[in-house]
Amino acid sequence: MNEPITSDAAPPRLELQGITKQFPGVLANDRVTFAVKPGEIHALLGENGAGKSTLVKMIYGIMAPDSGAMRFDGEVMENTSPRAARRRGIGMVFQHFSLFEALSVLENIALGLDEKLSHQRLEARIREVLDQYGLTLDPHRIVSTLSVGERQRIEIVRALLLNPRLLIMDEPTSVLTPQEVEALFEVLRQLAAEGCSILYISHKLDEIKALCQTATILRGGQVVGECDPRQETKRSMAEKMIGAGLRDVDKDRNRSFGEPRLVVKGLSTRAEDEFGVAITDIGFTVRAGEFFGVAGVAGNGQNALVEALSGEVAGTSAEAIMLNGEPIGLLSPSARRRAGLCTVPEERNGHAAISDFTLSDNTVLTARDRMHLAGGGLLRPAAARDYAARVIGEFSVKALGPGAVAGALSGGNLQKFIMGREILQRPDVLVVSQPTWGVDAGAAAAIHRALVELAAAGSAVVLISQDLDELLALSDTLAVINLGRLSDPRPVSEFSIEEIGLLMGGVHGDPEATREMTEVLHAHQA
């Protein structure tokens, strides 16, 4: 493996000195000072709300600091804008892709470039980049036909066409299979070896250890330390981030389960549009106290499964979903909640919560019946405020009380509030998609403990996640969803990371191929 090119004699590739940024009521960055060397892969760590996003937005020119100085290769960065940042050689790959599904790879890349090139010249340059970094991507493929990993390659290629000297990566592996993660790391290591600096933001501390040479740690908008991730453990880095000890998630692997809580059989839906994914003939059983994990690359029917289980999408058979022995497949979402099935969808803004509503009002959306926040056709505002305050307190949500507007919370704090709102209802079945999406290590551990306690009290938990560490730590039984089909559920102890990765990215919903591949893997392991 090539070692990154770094030089103590050269000026820092990026140097921040005393960067401060304040919004009404919030000091997002407080005199932040750190430097990134040429050819260095440098991690930016911190809890949700620590100021990471604001900081990289200023580096990329989306906003300007209130005070302090930024230097790039020794020169002061003035008149910042994304276009000016790109001219300097700063590229950024965002967590959420900005792609047009109906256009080709080539057309999407063209739209994101400042330089105007003919399609013929642009295609030649794209193929040069693909060859140079060992990437595979067809410039003429329509984006809607690509996997999530292939879509990310579009963003990476677009950034590489700039010949970047600094590349900012924001949660780049959150939607990738293990095999795709390793391929991405090889590209980043090659870039660093050629002298490009990488500023890497991720909540996955094992990735930070494997990839980065230095980590700057933010807490409350301030730099509180720097470390070499290769000399740290995941736990020690997490504790540096939160400034306190990290409690373990205590889950007994040998515990027994109760009666079936949720039985799904022959559940199918139709795709909402040409870019949607339908689920086909899905079946599984979850017992009291059991975690049923569903792995998969984003966009393979996870949202359709959640919508079918919650009742947001109308069912075709009452018996397709049985809750505690009773058919609920034709009930409305509210009726399913009253019966004991609660859900947390993947998208927190606009789906799980309404940004313009207060936290108190957001509790009423899903907890009005189970927590008695309404009665006789009237809302009970005092009860809603009390319940919102309870969620804030028990889940350590950083908010200015129940009257705070949901949109004012950081993504991680809003996620903690949404999870707490559902868990404290003590449902018989909780279906949750991406429970710790965009959440720091301390908050993730707290959410995991709350889910374990919920299951220990007799609830069944359906856990849909793209985080394999999360699934392997919590699941008792695991299945993989691919193009709307579910693999055969098995005890999580029977899976290997390699098998899960292949099921996520290589089988594409073919049950026979799934069985054949599983047999080959088992024979190889034997």
DSSP letters along 168-197, please?
A: EEESTTTT--HHHHHHHHHHHHHHHHTT-E
* CATH code linked to domain 260-348+427-525: 3.40.50.300
Q: What tens digit of pLDDT does each residue of 23-80 get?
A: 887 889 999 999 999 999 999 988 777 888 889 999 999 999 999 999 999 999 986 7
The answer to whether 474 touches 432, Cβ cutoff 8 Å, is: no
How many residues are there in the chain? 526
Give the CA-trace dihedral at 144, 146, 150, 156, to 10 degrees.
-20
DSSP 237-296: HHHHHHTS--------TT----SEEEEEEEE----SSTT-----SEEEEEETT-EEEEE-
| Six-digit token string for 183 | 């391929």
Segments making up each domain of the chain, as ranges: 14-242, 260-348+427-525
Q: How does DSSP classify residue 12?
A: P
The yes-or-no verdict on residue 523 having pLDDT over 60 is no
CA proximity to 44, closest of 27, 26, 25, 57: 57
CATH code, residues 14-242: 3.40.50.300
Average pLDDT, the chain: 86
User: Up-side HSE of residue 154: CA atoms within 13 Å toward CB?
Assistant: 30
pLDDT at 516 over 70: no
Please spell the DSSP secondary structure of 106-119, one letter per residue: HHHHHHT-SS---H
- Tell me which residue of 439, 18, 33, 25 sits closest to 224, measured CA to CA: 33
Biggest distance spanned by C-alpha atoms of the chain: 74
DSSP run (H or E) holding 220? none
> Number of C-alpha atoms within 13 angstroms, CB side, residue 59?
30
Q: What is the pTM of this model?
A: 0.69
Q: Identify the pLDDT of residue 508.
A: 40
Average pLDDT of 367-378? 92
Lowest mean pLDDT among 146-150, 217-221, 354-358, 397-401: 146-150
Helix (H, G, I), strand (E, B) or coil at 526: coil
Residue whose entry in the numeric block shows the structure tokens 């010949």:
163
Q: CA 222: distance to chain centroid? A: 24
Q: Taking 70 as the threshold, does the pLDDT of residue 95 lie above it?
A: no
Least confident of 117-126, 172-181, 340-349, 476-485: 172-181
In angstroms, rounded to a whole number, what is the distance separating the alpha carbons of residues 435 and 45?
A: 20
Tell me how many degrees the CA angle 392-393-396 measures, rounded to the nearest 5: 75
Going by C-alpha positions, the residue among 178, 199, 123, 239 that lies closest to residue 468 is: 178
Please give the Cα distance from 301 to 307 (Å, whole number): 10
Q: For residue 407, which phi and psi values (nearest 5 degrees)?
A: -65, -15
Whether the Cβ atoms of residue 86 and residue 162 lie closer than 8 Å to each other? yes
Which region holds residue 294: left if phi is over 0, alpha if psi is between -120 and 50, else beta? beta
Q: Across the strands, what pairs with 27?
A: 22
pLDDT in tens, 193-250: 999 999 999 888 888 999 999 999 998 899 999 999 999 988 888 888 877 666 666 6
HSE (side-chain half, CA atoms, 13 Å) at 70: 25
pLDDT band (50, 70, 90) for residue 417 = very high
> 3-class SS at 23?
strand
- Collapse the DSSP code of 225 into the 3-class scheme (helix H, G, I; strand E, B; otherwise coil) and give the result: strand
Residue 327 has φ and ψ, to the nearest 5°, of -70, 130
**Residue 81 in this model has a pLDDT that exceeds 80:** yes
CA dist., res. 286 & res. 264, Å (int): 9
Q: Tokens at residue 297, please?
A: 């690359």
Strands 341-344 and 374-375: unpaired
CA-CA distances (angstroms) from residue 209 to 213, 442, 480? 8, 17, 27
Written as six digits, the tokens of 96 are: 């959420």
- CA 49, CA 36: separation in Å to the nearest integer? 22
- Let me know: does 177 contact 444? Beta carbons within 8 Å: no
Asked if pLDDT for residue 316 goes beyond 90, the answer is no
Mean pLDDT of 396-423: 90
**Could you tell me if 208 and 44 are in contact, meaning their C-beta atoms sit under 8 angstroms apart?**
no
Given this chain, do its domains 14-242 and 260-348+427-525 carry the same CATH topology? yes
Contact by Cβ (8 Å): 512, 488: no
Averaged pLDDT, 303-314? 92
**Band of the pLDDT at 1, cuts 50, 70, 90?**
very low
Residue 405, H or E segment: none
pLDDT at position 385: 96
Res. 350 pLDDT band, cuts 50 70 90? confident
Structure tokens given for 456: 């220990």
